[in-house]
Amino acid sequence: MEMLVTALICLPFLWAILPAVIHNSKCRAFFVYLGCGIVIALSVFTAFKWFLAGGQAMSFDLPYKEVFDEVILVGDIFLMCLITYLSFKYKKGVISLLAIVQTVLVAALELFGPEVKELPALRFDWLTLVMILIIGVVGSLIGIYAVGYMHGYHIHHHKELTDRRSFFLAMIFVFFGAMFGLVFSQSLIWMYFFWEITSVTSFLLIGYTRTEEAINNSFKALWMNLLGGCGIAAAIAIGILAFKTVNLYEIIDIAIVSKYVGIPGTLCLLPIACLAFAALTKSAQFPFSGWLLGAMVAPTPSSALLHSATMVKAGVYLLIRISMAMADNYVGNMVALIGGFTFLAASCLAISVSDGKKVLAYSTISNLGLIVACTGCGYEETIWAAVFLVIFHAVSKSMLFQCVGAIENTTGSRDVEDMQGLISLFPKLAVVLMIGIAGMFLAPFGMLISKWAALKAFIDTSSVYVSTLMVLFICFGSATTMFYWTKWMSKILGASGKEKSRDLTKKNEYISMFFHAVMMVALILGFPWLSANVLKPMTNEMFGTDVQVISYQNIIIMIVLLVGVFVIPFINYLLTKNSKAKQVITYMGGANCGDNFNFVSSTGDPKEMHISNFYMEDIMGEKKLFTPAIMISTFIIIVYMIIVIGGAF
C-alpha cells in the first residue's frame, strides 16, 4: 500500500510538468487525458485493494520519510516566498504577513521546538477511501472536460485573453497531488503543507485571466484561506508545546478523553477550535463565503474543481475528521450554528440571483453549510449524513458546473432566464442539467435522504437551543432550496420560441458529463450497498457502534421513487416520440399571433411573450442579506472562540 499511496501523492505533481512544458495543443491534450486516466485507475485500484484486504485502518510512512520531511519544510518556505512576491507585485503586501507569520511559526517549531513523539505521517481508513475516489474520479473527469472547454474558451469566446492553457491544466494536476496528500496525512505538519498548496493553487486559478476583477478576487480567496492556514499553524504550535505531538488523531483523542475524565479548562479543545476555524474558511462558510463567490470569474473547470473535488472538500473533510471531538461542546456548537445559519442564508441568497454559476455557488455554500452543521453535532447519524452529502454533492456539483459552462459556450449566456425551453433546443445538455438539479433536492437522491438523517440527529442532540435552531435552519433552508431549484428546472422544461442552433459542446466534455450522470444514477441504485459496506464500517471505526439510518421499508420507497423519477418519463417518451403534436392557441392577454409567443395588445401594439421567475431581490437580495449574514456569523465565531480561548487560559 505504501508504494501505491506514494504514487498517488507524487505522480500528479510530477505529471503536472508535462502540460506545463508542452504547448502543442493535441500533444498536450493527449498527455492530460493519459494523466487523468492514470489517476482514475490508480485511485480506484488503491481503494479496492485496501477494501478487499479487509478495510482495516493503517498508519504508515512513505519511503525515505526524512527526505519528504525536508522537502515539505523547503516547500513551506517556497510557498511563503511566492505569496510574498506576488503580494508585493500586485501592491497587496499586507496579505504576505499572514503567510510569513504562519510559515515562520511552523518552521521554527519544527527546527528548534521541543522534541515530539515520532509517529507515522500517513493514515488510510474508510474516510480516506471515500475521499480518494472523489478526488481521483470526479477530479480527473473535470480534467478531461477542461481540455475541450479551454480550447473553446480561448479559440472561440475569449480571443482577447492570453492563452495560458498549459499553466491551467498543470495546476489541475497539482490540485490532485495536494488533495491526495492532505487526506492521507495524519501529521499536522504534512497536512499544513498540502493545505497551503491548495490555497495557493486556487489563488492562481482564480486569477487566471489576469483581469483586475480576477486579481482582486484571487487575493480575496488567498487571504481568507491564509487565515485558515494560521489556524492550522496555531494548532501545530499548541500540539507541540502543550501535548508534545503533531499527530491529528492524538489531538482528537486528547480532546475526547478530557471530556470524560473531567480535565478543567478547555486547553484540550483549543487545537480542535483552531482546526475547526481553518476548516470553516476553506469550506467557504459565512463570514468567509466571499472568496468562493469571487472564484466564479475563473473558467468553469476551475469552478467545478473547487466546488466538487478539491478546495471546499478539504474543509469539510477536516471537520468530519475532528467531529468526534466537537460533540456536545463549545467548538461543536460554534460549527453547528455557523453551518446551519450558512445553509439558510445562502439558500435565501440563491433565490435572488439569475446567473447560473452564481446560483451554483450559493447552492454550494448552502449545502456545505448543512455538511458543516452535521459535523458540529458529531453524532453517528450526522456523520453518516455528512459523508453521503459529500459524495452526492461532489458528483452533482461537478456535473452542474460543467453543464452550465457548456451551455455558456454554446448559447453565449449562463443566465437562468436565457435557458427557457432548453429541453427542445439542446436536449442532451438539458437532460444532464436536469439530472444534476434533481440530485440536489429530489428524492430518491442522496441529498434529500441525508437531510432527513441530519434532521433526525439534530432532534436527538443534547443541547436544546442548538437542536431547536438546527431544526429551524434545515426546515426553512430546505424550503428555499426547493424554490430556486424548481425555478431553474421549470425554465428548462418550458416552451421556447427560439430557433435550434449548433451545439458547440466537445465530445470530451460530453464524455465527462454523461459519466457524471451515470454515476449519479448508480449512486442511487447502490445507495443501500454503499451505506452497509462503506459508511457503516466508517462510523463503526469512528464511534465503535453501527448506525442504521435507512430501513428496509425506506429502501423500498426509494425504489418506487426512482421509478417515478426516471422510468415513467422514459416510458412516456417512448410512447409519444412518434406522435404528432397539435399546437393549441392560448390566450395571451391579447390577440394571439398564432405562435404562442407573440400577441397584439388591446391598444393594437405588437407584444412578445416573456416569462420570468420571481427573484425577490427586495427581500432576499444580496444588498439586503449578505452584509447582515457576515456580521451575524462573525459574531458567533468571535463569541465562541473567546469562550474556548478564555477557558484554556
Q: Write out pLDDT tens, residues 149-186.
A: 888 888 877 778 888 999 999 999 999 999 999 999 99
In a domain, 29, yes or no: no
Go through 183-220 and write b for each residue having 16 or more CB atoms within 10 A of its CB, e for each that does not. Answer: bbbbbbbbbbbbbbbbbbbbbbbbbbbeeeebbebbbb
Q: How far apart are CA 26 and CA 616, in angstroms?
A: 47
Question: Which whole-number Å values give the CA distances from 13 to 9, 61, 148, 226, in the listed order?
Answer: 7, 19, 22, 22
Task: For helices 139-152 and 300-308, give the axis angle rounded to 10 degrees.
Answer: 170
Residues 289, 290, 291, 296: is their CA dihedral positive or negative?
A: positive
**pLDDT attached to residue 552:** 59
Whether 124 and 54 have beta carbons less than 8 Å apart is answered as no
In a domain, 609, yes or no: no
Compute the radius of gyration of the chain from its Cα atoms.
25
Q: What is the pLDDT of residues 278-287, one digit of tens each?
A: 999 999 999 9
Q: How far apart are CA 374 and CA 344, in angstroms?
A: 14
In a domain, 592, yes or no: no
Number of other residues whose CB lies within 10 A of the CB of residue 637: 21
Q: How far apart are CA 491 and CA 614, in angstroms?
A: 12
**pLDDT attached to residue 547:** 67
**pLDDT attached to residue 80:** 96
Whether 454 and 374 have beta carbons less than 8 Å apart is answered as yes
| C-alpha cell, 57 | 485502518
**pLDDT attached to residue 382:** 85
Q: By residue range, what is the domain housing residue 390?
A: 327-547+631-649
**pLDDT attached to residue 261:** 59
Q: How far apart are CA 317 and CA 248, in angstroms?
A: 13
Q: How far apart are CA 194 and CA 178, in angstroms?
A: 5
| C-alpha cell, 208 | 487566471
Q: How long is the chain? A: 649
Whether 119 and 190 have beta carbons less than 8 Å apart is answered as no
In a domain, 636, yes or no: yes
Q: Is 592 helix (H, G, I), strand (E, B) or coil?
A: strand
**pLDDT attached to residue 341:** 94
In a domain, 508, yes or no: yes
In a domain, 78, yes or no: no
Go through 425-457 and write b for each residue having 16 or more CB atoms within 10 A of its CB, e for each that does not. Answer: bbeebbbbbbbbbbbbbbbbbbbbbbbbbbbeb
**pLDDT attached to residue 583:** 64
Cβ contacts of residue 280 below 8 Å, gap of 6+? 228, 288, 315, 335, 338, 372, 637
Low-confidence stretches of the chain (pLDDT < 70) are 259-265, 309, 442-447, 460-466, 495-497, 547-566, 568-569, 573, 576-584, 610, 648-649
Biggest CA pair distance of the chain: 88
Q: How far apart are CA 574 and CA 355, in angstroms?
A: 34
In a domain, 375, yes or no: yes
The predicted model scores a pTM of 0.92
Total number of domains constituting the chain: 1
Q: How far apart are CA 482 and CA 409, in angstroms?
A: 27
In a domain, 532, yes or no: yes
